[in-house]
Amino acid sequence: INAEYGELSLPPMVVSARMASRARQIRTSVSRATAPCTTAIGHPKKFRTSDGVTLKYTDHGDREGLPVLLLHGWGANGHYFQRNVPQLTRAGLRCLTVDHRGMGDSDKPGHGHRVSRIAADVHDLVSHAQIDQPMIMVGTSLGFTIISLYLEIFGSERVSGVCFVDQTCAMYQRPGWYHGALTLNNPAMCADLTAALQHNWDSLAEDVVRGGFGSVGPSEEEFVFLKEQVLKCDPGHLARLMQDHANLDLTDLMPQIRVPVLNCIGGQTQCHEIRGMEFIGETVPWGKNVTFQEQGHFLYWEDPDRFNQCLIDFSHGCHQHQPGQLFSSLKDEVWQSF
């Protein structure tokens, strides 16, 4: 019992035991097919945000195709979508990725360490890239929070649908809400993360990669590649950004989202309480939860064929059906398996 953070907040020893149990589920031998890791997809472009920060982005596929904006999570970058973009563009979609400020190959400006500022960066990108058709917004992890704030601040006029990936809508445990993050669920744990970012960055980067996988851990090539991407980030920026991200409670915003929501959940996630993620698909007016039973936080990387087909069906469906009819229209084998 933790009086400061709420009656049911988890003490570190309980969290450690839970995480150890989760870790035992991860097999070290790889039984899933893995594609080669590369940074050679697409031609990077740059744009300047309204506060003068230069961000890297990519724009793939037919510019007349249905636009899909892929927003990565904390400690990642656009290369995390390399197993998604080729298949999505072959299906006729226009796919854009961006490296958020302080991460990947974008500027590390030393300011703007807030999710609301990143949502403004996304708004700037939409204007710069001339995304004229209503778009599908895909947000993995932190990307969920970016999109949620984007919709709250800028509205949904330019959005036809949203895909969230493995994120609860409130990370901190609070009275009445006990479905947050598995570890970063109170300020003390975020303080521990800040210390690790400052003093043990390399080791933490390894934990970030391993913690993203579900029942099958990363191959050696995946581990090396993804760790390299994590280490491109500014650890000071990550610390302050996580303090803002983890403190946000977006439960009240979910009923206000007025576009279809495909909410993807990793059945073996090491990051969030599954019940907290299920709340999203149950609470938005036109939402559907889909669980990838053996995958984790990086489910779009771990099972790209299945994720890509879901996103393709969802994207085209958002443009062909009324919101209330969308999910009942999706009846192929991929959807029946959920």
Q: Which residue is associated with the tokens 């230069």?
A: 54
| Low-confidence winner among 1-5, 19-23, 199-203, 288-292 (lowest mean pLDDT) | 1-5
CA distances from 103 to 70, 187, 238, 245, 296 (A): 15, 23, 8, 15, 22
Mean residue pLDDT across the chain: 88
| Low-confidence winner among 46-55, 77-86, 327-336 (lowest mean pLDDT) | 327-336
Q: How far apart are CA 47 and CA 32, in angstroms?
A: 37
Specify whether the CB–CB gap between 186 and 5 falls below 8 A: yes
pLDDT tens digits along 74-105: 999 999 999 999 999 999 999 999 999 999 99
DSSP string, 200-264: -HHHHHHHHHHTT--SB---HHHHHHHHHHHTTS-HHHHHHHHHHHHH-B-TTTGGG--S-EEEE
Average pLDDT over residues 175-196: 94
Q: How far apart are CA 98 and CA 87, in angstroms?
A: 18
Average pLDDT over residues 295-300: 97
Specify whether the CB–CB gap between 260 and 318 falls below 8 A: yes
Rg of the chain over all Cα atoms, to the nearest angstrom: 19
| Low-confidence winner among 123-137, 162-176, 274-288, 311-325 (lowest mean pLDDT) | 311-325
pLDDT tens digits along 282-297: 999 999 999 999 999 9
pLDDT of residue 11: 36
pLDDT of residue 12: 40
pLDDT of residue 157: 93
pLDDT of residue 323: 73
pLDDT tens digits along 240-264: 999 999 999 999 999 999 999 999 9
DSSP string, 50-82: TTS-EEEEEEES-TTSEEEEEE--TT--GGGGT
Which tops the pLDDT comparison, 199 or 22?
A: 199
Element (H, E) at 300: helix 299-302
Specify whether the CB–CB gap between 114 and 48 falls below 8 A: no
Specify whether the CB–CB gap between 57 and 99 falls below 8 A: yes
Specify whether the CB–CB gap between 198 and 235 falls below 8 A: yes
Average pLDDT over residues 129-137: 95
**pLDDT-derived band of residue 72, with 50, 70 and 90 as boundaries?**
very high
pLDDT of residue 333: 59
Specify whether the CB–CB gap between 296 and 212 falls below 8 A: yes
CA distances from 254 to 14, 150, 170, 178, 234 (A): 30, 13, 11, 17, 31
pLDDT above 70 coverage of the chain, percent: 86
Specify whether the CB–CB gap between 257 and 280 falls below 8 A: no
pLDDT of residue 8: 37
| Low-confidence winner among 2-11, 86-95, 144-153 (lowest mean pLDDT) | 2-11
pLDDT of residue 161: 95
Structure tokens given for 280 = 């999203």
| Low-confidence winner among 211-215, 217-221, 263-267, 334-338 (lowest mean pLDDT) | 334-338
State how beta strands 159-165 and 135-140 pair: parallel
Neighbours of 34 (CB within 10 A): 15
